[in-house]
Amino acid sequence: MLKIFLTGIIWLLMQSVVLSGTSLRYWVVNESRKVHPGEKIKPEEWLFDAGTRTVLLFGAKNETVSFQIILRSKNRTKVANASFSWQKPSPLKGTFFWEGYLFAPEVPKKIVAGPKGEYPDPLVPFWDPYRKGRSVALPFTLTPGRNQPIWVDIKIPAGCPAGIHKGFIRFETDTKETIKIYLRLQVWNFVLPDKINLTAWVPLYWERLARAERLNPKSLFLPQNWPVILRYYQMAHDHDFVTQIANGVDQPKIVWDETTGKMKFIDWKTYDFYFGPILSGVAFSDGNPPALWKVGGWIYWGAREGDRPYFGDDYRTSAVLSPAHRAALRAYAGEIDRHFAEKGWRTPERFMYMIDEPDLKSYPNLASFIHDLGKTIHEGSSRIKHLVTAGPQASPALIGGVDIWATTGGTYWVPEMKKRQALGEKAWFYQDHEPFVGGNCLNQDGLSLRTWPWIAKRYGVNGIFLWVGDFWPKDVYQNALNWNRLYISNGILFYPGHQLPQINFPPIDGPVSSFRMKELRRGMQDYAYFQLAGKKAGVVVKGIIHSALNPEEADPYWKDPRWAKPGNWSHNPKDWEFARRKLAEIILKKTIH
């Protein structure tokens, strides 16, 4: 009773301090907490120090630390300005984003999602990142009695001095009311590595990107298109994953003799001009190239009539490649190796993604055909990996033709994957929902995508990916139903800048980030902590992720006894931040010794 009484007194005390002299209320909460428009924030969720009303933050050098400010007004109020002020000298930079809400309907319990209601996701920048000095989400209006979350990123440079950095954030309204939020950021004396030992890949669909961003759909390789496209690649890089416009339009220009499979002509000039700065790292602020890169394929390369090139095979019936198909694929793989070596693009791991989610039951020869695809790629190149979205348990005929096994969380059989990894092959997972991995939909909790790198660490997974990042409906800022009423807003990580007028903001010439994207970055940065902490990180991870994926090999996965239940990991963001602090302590002890 005493604890409850004291908690109530602290809450009332903080309320009176926060509301003094203004009609505005505010709360500050963890970045992994999705706040709904009408809910009240519990005192134990605040990031405030009760005595000084200061926001307490911590992070490493080369890390982006994030949190959310929840604004609420008694009256209709327009927020006219916002600013950071740091004690000098300080290299810290802060960025504000207005969080947009989308409505999600009720879904079946098997999906393990939240109730129907509004969920935050698009993060609209206060100021245009592509045109200096131009406002986008400022000013904005607070509706009485309705929460308005503001996302805050603070980038800690690699050269930032360790220690305590203090500052404050100021919000001003058109009626001259002011909120001042004090910050205390502890910067730890270690640097997160640029190279994270977990690959994360999210492809884009060209047609949807071109339509939403008002690009010329004839080719992505056009000067008027490229500034916007490049900004998608850069935003992904800044959030620790790789994106590519990957549905068959991202390859060099080649003319084939489809009868013999001979490469008659290849032109690398356009490819090099646009992708060269990316593959060398010049296009990115840190100068680092992407960790991996799809160099060919997309579903039915050479094996479906109507697509070009076409070499006479049919993926549904053929058991092996035709001589022309084999000659072409072997030549293409060898040419990729030759050209990448010539250009000095050695860092990205190259892979080909040929046939997606193969239906091996409907097409009995398909496993053999996929094996032959992999074998032929290997004949042309020892460096290019063959990725298949299937697990080794799907068919013994796949074995020997696959380098990267990628399955959904529910079909990721941990023991089988470990066997393949012991032989030098790699294991990835891509999406699903609880209890196997955190869901990637709008109506799943704020920790959902953050779980992916933690689960990868827990089970030794080499890579993660989301099937697509731009599967937008036409009214993307107003409608979360993009393709499936079970999986709400599935396949969206970016938002298109040119569609911002849908919510009465001016358009911008590039992508808009999302809550889900920020959470994936948070998980990837956590993974960087794992790298520095070494073996002791495993104990911390197991304390958060008790079980995930399909460790007992339940087949089918909906027969798993955990089915339709929440994931067996902590759903309290404070536990995750405590674990991150524990990892920092481990790293600091290693540094001292």
% of the chain beyond a pLDDT of 90 = 86
Measured distance CA(572)–CA(577) in Å, rounded: 9
- Buried b vs exposed e over 420-429: b needs ≥16 C-beta within 10 Å? beeeebbbbb
Phi then psi for 230, rounded to 5 degrees? -60, -35
Work out the angle between the directed axes of helices 323-343 and 269-280 (0-180°, nearest 10): 60
The chain-wide mean pLDDT, for the chain, equals 93
State the DSSP code for 388. E
Same domain, 379 and 272: yes
At 67 the pLDDT is 97
The residue from 174, 191, 208 where one domain ends is 191
Measured distance CA(456)–CA(439) in Å, rounded: 15
Residue 44 lies in a domain: yes
CA angle 153, 156, 157 (to 5 degrees): 135
Same domain, 258 and 347: yes
Measured distance CA(69)–CA(78) in Å, rounded: 16
The residues with which 95 forms a beta bridge, in sequence order, are: 153
Measured distance CA(547)–CA(544) in Å, rounded: 9
Measured distance CA(281)–CA(234) in Å, rounded: 10
Same domain, 109 and 37: yes
Closest CA to 311 of 320, 321, 319: 321
Same domain, 184 and 109: yes
Q: Where are the beta strands (DSSP E) in 370-436?
A: 385-388, 404-407, 426-430
Residue 262 lies in a domain: yes
Same domain, 187 and 276: no
In angstroms, the Cα distances linking 40 to 11, 26, 391, 563, 571 are: 12, 11, 44, 31, 18
> How many of the other CB atoms lie within 10 Å of CB of 561?
8
> How many of the other CB atoms lie within 10 Å of CB of 239?
23
Q: What tokens were used for 415?
A: 């023991």
Residue 149 lies in a domain: yes
Place of tokens 């860092």: 347
Same domain, 272 and 140: no
Closest CA to 326 of 340, 312, 338, 339: 312
Same domain, 23 and 154: yes
Measured distance CA(401)–CA(467) in Å, rounded: 22
Q: What tokens were used for 178?
A: 């002011």
Name the CA dihedral angle for 121, 122, 127, 129, rounded to a multiple of 10 degrees.
110
Residue 78 lies in a domain: yes
Place of tokens 């990837």: 524
Helix (H, G, I), strand (E, B) or coil at 197: coil
At 20 the pLDDT is 40
The residue from 384, 411, 438 where one domain ends is 384
Q: Kindly tell me the sign of the dihedral angle through the C-alpha atoms of 88, 91, 94, 95.
A: positive
pTM for the full model? 0.95
The residue from 384, 418, 446 where one domain ends is 384
Same domain, 39 and 151: yes
State the DSSP code for 442. T
Closest CA to 480 of 430, 439, 441: 441
At 300 the pLDDT is 59
> How many of the other CB atoms lie within 10 Å of CB of 363?
16
Residue 38 lies in a domain: yes
Residue 347 lies in a domain: yes
Say if residues 494 and 231 touch (Cβ distance below 8 Å): no
- Mode of pairing for the β-strands spanning 63-73 and 148-156: antiparallel
Could you give the count of Cα atoms lying within 13 Å of 323 in the half-sphere of its Cβ?
2
Structural element, H or E, at residue 295: strand 292-296
Residue type, 343: K
Range of the domain at 22: 2-191
Output the domain CATH number for residue 103.
Answer: 2.60.40.10
State the DSSP code for 455. H
Say if residues 199 and 462 touch (Cβ distance below 8 Å): yes
Residue 88 lies in a domain: yes
Region of 53 (left: φ > 0; alpha: ψ -120 to 50; beta: rest) is left
DSSP-assigned letters across all residues of 1-36: -HHHHHHHHHHHHHHHHHHTTSSEEEEEEETT----
At 593 the pLDDT is 59
- Buried b vs exposed e over 4-34: b needs ≥16 C-beta within 10 Å? eeeeeebbeebeeebeeebbbbbbbbbbbbb
Q: Tell me how long the chain is.
A: 593
Place of tokens 């909460």: 29
Instruction: Give the contacts of 142 (CB within 8 A, at least 6 positions apart).
Output: 24, 71, 72, 73, 76, 77, 78, 79, 148
Residue 586 lies in a domain: no
Say if residues 350 and 380 touch (Cβ distance below 8 Å): no
Same domain, 187 and 257: no
Say if residues 169 and 84 touch (Cβ distance below 8 Å): yes
Give pLDDT tens digits along the chain (593 positions): 434 333 433 333 344 334 444 688 999 999 999 999 999 998 889 998 877 789 999 999 999 999 999 999 999 999 999 999 999 888 999 999 999 999 999 999 999 999 999 999 999 999 999 999 999 999 999 999 999 999 999 999 999 999 999 999 999 999 888 999 999 999 999 999 999 999 999 999 999 999 999 999 998 899 999 999 999 999 999 999 999 998 778 889 999 999 999 999 999 999 999 999 999 999 999 999 999 999 988 755 778 888 888 899 998 999 999 999 999 999 999 999 999 999 999 999 999 999 899 999 999 999 999 999 999 999 999 999 999 999 999 999 999 999 999 999 999 999 999 999 999 999 999 999 999 999 999 999 999 999 999 999 999 999 999 999 999 999 999 999 999 999 999 999 999 999 999 999 999 999 999 999 999 999 999 999 999 999 999 999 999 999 999 998 999 999 999 999 999 999 999 999 999 999 999 999 987 75
**Domain count within the chain:** 2
State the DSSP code for 82. E
Same domain, 21 and 96: yes
The residues with which 118 forms a beta bridge, in sequence order, are: 103
Same domain, 157 and 296: no
Say if residues 220 and 275 touch (Cβ distance below 8 Å): no
Place of tokens 């969720």: 45
At 52 the pLDDT is 79
Whether the upstream peptide bond of residue 573 has omega within 30° of 0, thus cis, is no
Residue 437: alpha-carbon gap to chain centroid: 14
Same domain, 27 and 142: yes
- Give residue-wise pLDDT tens across range 187-201: 999 999 999 999 999
Structural element, H or E, at residue 77: strand 77-86
In angstroms, the Cα distances linking 23 to 48, 144, 175, 264, 301 are: 20, 10, 11, 72, 61
